[in-house]
Amino acid sequence: MGPTPGYHLAGKPQYCSLRLVAFLLIILLFVFFGRKDVLVLTPWLAPIVWEGTFNIDILNEQFRVQNVTIGLTVFAIKKYMVFLKLFLETAEEHFMVGHKVNYYVFTDRPADVPRVPLRGGRRLLVLEVPGAARWQDVSMRRMEMIGSFCAQRFLREVDFLVCADVDMRFRDHVGVEILSQLFGTLHPGFYGAAREAFTYERRPQSRAHIPRDQGDFYYMGAFFGGSVAEVHRLTTACHQAMMADWANGIEAVWHDESHLNRYLLDHKPTKVLSPEYMWDEQLLGWPAIMKKLRYVAVPKDHQEIRHR
């Protein structure tokens, strides 16, 4: 496991300053000479990652020098196991190619985890967890389990953690350009909408509540991450908020995603991923601004899968 970017050069302040200046210059070059058809910076100056806003060769070299290991968590509970093989096969083709990766598969069916050939420096680690009666419970307990394993082992084993849904597939490059201390992904259904249209939790009784005059973006719960320490803070806070709601007899409208949106409103992500990193072509087509479709939904019957 390599050092966390930005924190391993404490004895070389001049070197740090030069690297920071170079990094800011690269960002400014992409802002002024890159994409003009999409928003590329948040109001708090975090980059929004689209095709044409990064140089992957420079970034790959930066992260290889730091010798980072990336963890990818995925939950294959009950019948969702059917999606795992395609998820892993396409991850091997497109996810963090050339870098060390630990796949962390949370499942109640460890014997059914498929054998998928892995590149060098990549490992598949199966973490057995109990199932749940409702898919909503699986979704909400994900925060608790990720937070718990961050403390137990992820902090020692990886530098960054990417948390993904299993009923998806990688279709194009998803690499180190997404890595940051804390990142969220724009929901494909709301990336062009006014915040009044966002499906935040609107009931004040919930800890996930966001008033109609507040909000930056609507983030998808199916793809988020950051440094292990930041993911630990996020998942722990969301789990505690969900437990507080449960004690008060309320469940947020979109479960853990509602709490994720509340957290990212209060703790601004240092990088935001465009809908290239979370798309459903069957529902949304392929608009011209989407130069790449990187991580996409697998066609499915939600009701049939969730209730089998």
Q: Is residue 21 pLDDT above 90, yes or no?
A: no
pLDDT band at 18 (very low <50, low <70, confident <90, very high): low
**pLDDT computed for residue 203 by the predictor:** 97
Chain segment 145-179, per-residue pLDDT in tens: 999 999 999 999 999 999 999 999 999 999 999 99
Average pLDDT (274-282) is 97
Among the listed residues 163, 152, 141, the one whose alpha carbon sits nearest the alpha carbon of residue 231: 163
Chain segment 96-134, per-residue pLDDT in tens: 999 999 999 999 999 999 999 999 999 999 999 987 766
pLDDT band at 186 (very low <50, low <70, confident <90, very high): very high
**pLDDT computed for residue 29 by the predictor:** 58
257 is catalytic: yes
Q: What angle do CA 47, 275, 122 make, to 5 degrees?
A: 85
Active-site residue identified among 257, 276, 281, 304: 257
**110-to-77, 80, 164, 167, 173 alpha-carbon distances in Å:** 10, 13, 18, 17, 28
**pLDDT computed for residue 300 by the predictor:** 72
Average pLDDT (290-307) is 79
